[in-house]
Amino acid sequence: MRRGELVLYHKGREVGRVPVARELSAEGTRFDFPPVRMDALEFRPTSVDGKLRGRPITGLAEITTLSRLAWE
């Protein structure tokens, strides 16, 4: 996976996007961004280099987050 985008959500509404402009490491890749209130995170690959039967393909095993709870 070469590039992607983190999409941040709070209560079902998009509250931000963070571009991922580098390859992800199998050992883990850290992304820092300003504090934002969110309750969901989506990763969208935008550039991949894998192929299966001639079609672009990628896979992501897991996403681990380090975050802080904010009480409303």
The string of DSSP letters for 13-55 reads EEEEEEEE-SPPPTT-----------SEEEEEEEE--EEETTE
Rounded Cα–Cα distance for residues 7 and 56 (Å): 22
Q: What is the pLDDT of residue 71?
A: 65
pTM, two decimal places: 0.74
Q: What is the pLDDT of residue 1?
A: 65
8-53, pLDDT tens digit by residue? 999 999 999 999 888 888 788 888 878 888 889 898 888 877 788 8
